[in-house]
Structure formats: structure tokens, C-alpha cells
A = this chain, B = another copy of it.
């Protein structure tokens, strides 16, 4: 497997991709007064005293002349939500600063906003590095904004979870409380607790709220449809459940068809707000990036496990944007794919 005698450039590039990096945009102002910038992940810290950073640039780059002549440059470490900025500064034949608010830093260098950290530098060295030039800059000013980072690995963007001391794991075991099913179930039921408490205050129980939830995905569903959706969560639905909701004047059952009353619709909206608040609580120990991560990983689990769903449920996309609870949704097609 060792690639010794001749280095295959494609394989070499792939091996380099094993090294995870942040993503930066490096900017300068050309002698002609033009703003120049590019996306680079070849950034790194070098020296603390004096404070210095480095990055390297392909000698054939269209921006090379500007940086070779520049006394100053700025390095922006991009934040997790700046994928678009990263792509824009890697694109050819476009105005890379289009749509961005530009401030001026040392040497009139263009500074862009919204990043995770920013270093303004005076060029100290331009070192040889094969087909690249290594720029070493002394940091004359810097800003740190504490935003979650954009990450690059293996030719793709990635999402990062920062480990905390409380994050205890036992990678050897997948039974007991390390079993994925346990963790999913517990997280789910705990997250639902405030919603359940709210429903119980109204004298209703889990099955009732699951019926209301299923109904809020589309009015006019039949009793049979709603029961099937709720039964996906392992609850057996009987006529009495619908009768209770009708007595409480939350729904009207018209033959097989079920619809909300005005009060029922208002109540569903209240529960939606409670669901939103439950999500905020559940994500209390997650930063913006980690919350995204969790959702993306759950969607992968949903993709990987959806094959056993009844054909009828998979085909019609009955899950709409206005549902309140997760239970009934199990019966629908691949989340937002």
C-alpha cells in the first residue's frame, strides 16, 4: 500500500485530505487597488513571539501576483454557516466579494464579516515550497468571534462536535445504556415530557396527543389513517380515544373523516409552540453546529432503517410542516430528502 517510487498525484491529494482543517479566506489589496481573495485551507499558526501565521499559495494562482507584492494580508477563519463564502472565494470568473460587506484593515486590506476569527498580517517571509509559496505573516491585529467553525475533510465539508469533560463514552459496549435504541428512546421520551405534561393538564393522554399530532399533518384524514399513524408508535387506538377528543370539542368526527374544531386548531398551535420550546431545552448543551449535526445523524439513521415501513406509508408524503409531535411521522417518507 505504501506509495514509494513514484507519487501518484491523485492518491497523494486524497491522503492529504485525511488531515482535517478549518477553512480560511485570505484577502489582500493589489497594487492597482483591487480587492483580491481566495479560499485556502493551508493555513496554520507558526510563532507566538513574534505572533506569526502561515499559509501557502499555488505559484500559478491568478491571485499570486497580488500576494507576492502585498505588504499586508488578512486571514479569515470561516464559521460553520459560511460554506457559501468558502465556495464563492474558490470560484473562477466571479466577483468573489459580491454581496459581502467589506471593511478596511491594515494596508487597506478587505476584511469580511461573520467569520470565526480574523488575523491581519504584515508579510514577513515568502518562502520556497515547491510549486507553492509559503507566506509567513506577522499578526498585527486579530479578532475572535467565537463562532462554530467550518471544517474540511477528505474533499468535503464536515461538522464538528467539540468534546466536553462530561462527554463520557464507552465505545466497547453497545448494550445497556450505550445501546443506540436506549439512547434514542430516552432522549425522545425525555424531550416529550413537557408536552406530555401539558396534555395531561388538559386531562388527555399520550394517545390523544398523538392523534391530534397526526391530524395536524393534514385535516380530513380518516379514523383508519390516523389510527395507523399513531399505532406506529406502538399505541393501540380505539374509538373511545376519538370520542374523548370529540367530547372535548377539539375534533369533529364525521363518518370516517376527522377534522379540527376551531378550539382544536388553536390547541394544536399551542402545542407546536411547546414543542419548539422543548427543542430549545433539549438542545441546551449543543451549539448551533452540534444541533445541526444531531439532526443530520438522525436523518441518516432514518434513511438506514426506513426499508421496513409499510408500502402505503412510504409512498405518500403525508408529513407536513405543521405537525406537533414526532410519533406519527414515523410513517412517512425520507425526511427532507
Contacts and interface: CB of A to CB of B under 8 A. Distances in A.
A321 interface: yes
A267 interface: no
Interface in A159-203: 159-164, 166-171, 173-197
B19 A21 contact: yes
Per DSSP, are chain A's interface residues mostly helix, strand or loop, or mixed?
mixed
A178 B321 CA distance: 8
A122 interface: no
Given A163-B156, A176-B322, A299-B167, A278 B308 contact: no
28 contacts: A2-B141, A2-B142, A3-B141, A43-B44, A47-B131, A47-B132, A54-B56, A153-B160, A156-B162, A158-B160, A159-B160, A166-B337, A169-B299, A174-B279, A175-B276, A175-B322, A178-B295, A181-B279, A181-B326, A183-B302, A184-B184, A186-B330, A187-B301, A189-B233, A197-B308, A285-B300, A286-B297, A290-B297
Contacts of A12: 48, 51, 139, 142
Contacts of A182: 319, 323, 325-326, 329
Interface in A289-320: 290-306, 308-309, 319-320
A283 interface: yes
Contact of A298 (B3, B56, B183): B183
B189 A18 contact: no
B20 A171 contact: no
Contacts of A173: 321
Contacts of A167: 296, 299-300
Interface in A1-47: 1-4, 7, 9, 11-16, 18-22, 24, 41-47
Contacts of A132: 46-47, 52
Contact of A187 (B119, B272, B305): B305
Nearest to A301: B187
Contacts of A332: 177
